[in-house]
Amino acid sequence: MPVITTEKNLDLLTLTIVAEFAAPLRRLWDAYTDPRQIERFWGPPTYPAAFLRHDAFPGGRSVYRMTGPEGDEHYGCWEWLSVDAPDAFEVTDAFADANGEPNQELPSMHMSFAFEAIEGGSRLVSTTRFEALDQLEQLIGMGMLEGTREAMSQIDTVLADLAAFATDHVAEAQLIGDTQVRVARVVRGAVERVWRAHTDADLVKRWLLGPDGWTMPVCEIAAHVGDTYRYEWENAADGERFGFTGELVESAEPYRSVTTESMIGTDHPATLNELTLTPVQGGTLLSLVITYADAEQRDAVLASGMTAGMEMSYARLEELLESTDA
């Protein structure tokens, strides 16, 4: 059991939990900032979590859903206040509705996470501060302390699973909702360089090509929120051509970019594409959450070999970053 101590301070309105792990500091930090990992332990075993958004940078947001044994769903959200990697971060944690908006009828909490290297592993000190005594008592009465203990007891298993999150792992698609899929891959390269490779047209045309044999004759980048972009590809063998267009609706350089995407010349419903770049050991975790109009559209796109094509592009991106100063 990783939890060493728990302390409830009624004067300071805080709940402090200290846990220790037989894993390096950076490994523990990455487990909290990688949505693929934190969702494996943030909820207790009977209420597993799915992180629909996870921005490990100041001003970012996280949205998660916990599903109970009867299929009941409960949402929460974080507002990221500060990040000092790999030593500490602070968030405001709140109950939320299905859209990820804070539920004003339930209390929110200020949570600080402090990470420290110790002999044989690492230590985490999690301090939750409440605004009033009745809020602290309400959350404890709802089983917060027991739930946190159960959730943290799962972290050791995640930390031991090195292979699933290794830098040489290919892109994988994970269903995270009825209409959403998350494609994730660690790319060897700093966040700033990976961001530039997504926003510099000359670089994009060198890696965002999918299978061999395709070129990208049109690459118009959306530089500012509200701008539109247009990408077109052509098969060198037979001249076949297709493309996508859309609008940049959100940008937080160099960590997050949100765009709409429509296939040119079709009436297929547009998707919403949320790209998040997170520094991790060995490079940058590239996480792309795609929201489709319905499950049928999502499943049809996945069946087309989308993930394999993305992996070919990401492998090419990695080669580009390793071979140039891009």
Do 193 and 75 lie in one domain? The reply is no
| Average of per-residue pLDDT across 152-168 | 84
Least confidently predicted of 65-69, 105-109, 234-238, 287-291: 105-109
The predicted model scores a pTM of 0.93
Q: Tens of pLDDT along 226-266?
A: 999 999 999 999 999 999 999 999 999 999 999 999 999 99
Contact 292, 180 (CB under 8 A): yes
Question: Containing H/E element for 242?
Answer: strand 241-252
Q: In angstroms, rounded to a whole number, what is the distance separating the alpha carbons of residues 44 and 226? A: 40
Last residue of a domain, one of 143, 162, 181: 162
Do 142 and 178 lie in one domain? The reply is no
* In-domain check, residue 96: yes
Last residue of a domain, one of 162, 190, 220: 162
**Local confidence band at 88 (pLDDT 50, 70, 90 cut-offs):** very high
Its domain, for residue 10, covers: 3-162
Least confidently predicted of 62-71, 145-154, 171-180, 275-284: 145-154
Do 198 and 275 lie in one domain? The reply is yes
Do 58 and 198 lie in one domain? The reply is no
Burial of 27 (0-12, 13-18, 19+ CB in 10 A): buried
**Local confidence band at 163 (pLDDT 50, 70, 90 cut-offs):** low
- The DSSP code sequence of 2-65 is -EEEEEEETTTTEEEEEEEESS-HHHHHHHHH-HHHHTTTSS-TTS-EEEEEE--STT-EEEEE
Last residue of a domain, one of 111, 143, 162: 162
Please report the beta strands in 266-307, taking only residues with DSSP state E, as ranges in sequence order: 271-280, 283-291
* In-domain check, residue 167: no
Contact 37, 30 (CB under 8 A): yes
Do 119 and 212 lie in one domain? The reply is no
Whether pLDDT at 1 is above 60 = no
- Residue 311, amino acid: E
Mean pLDDT score of the chain? 93
Q: Which residue has the higher pLDDT, 113 or 153?
A: 113
CATH of the domain at 153: 3.30.530.20
Q: Given this model, what pLDDT does residue 30 score?
A: 96
Do 206 and 273 lie in one domain? The reply is yes
Instruction: List the 109-118 sheet strands across, edge first.
Output: 3-9, 14-21, 121-129, 109-118, 88-96, 73-84, 61-67, 49-54
* In-domain check, residue 284: yes
Q: Given this model, what pLDDT does residue 21 score?
A: 95
Looking at the structure of the chain, the number of domains it has is: 2
Whether pLDDT at 172 is above 90 = yes
Whether pLDDT at 52 is above 90 = yes
Q: Given this model, what pLDDT does residue 85 score?
A: 96
**Local confidence band at 326 (pLDDT 50, 70, 90 cut-offs):** low
| Average of per-residue pLDDT across 50-72 | 96
Do 237 and 143 lie in one domain? The reply is no
Do 316 and 186 lie in one domain? The reply is yes
Residues 6+ apart with CB under 8 A from 276: 53, 54, 55, 255, 256, 286, 287, 288, 289
Do 107 and 9 lie in one domain? The reply is yes
Q: In angstroms, rounded to a whole number, what is the distance separating the alpha carbons of residues 111 and 14? A: 9
Do 151 and 243 lie in one domain? The reply is no
Do 105 and 179 lie in one domain? The reply is no
* In-domain check, residue 27: yes
From 30, 288, 310, 34, select the one nearest 170 (Cα to Cα): 310
Do 315 and 213 lie in one domain? The reply is yes
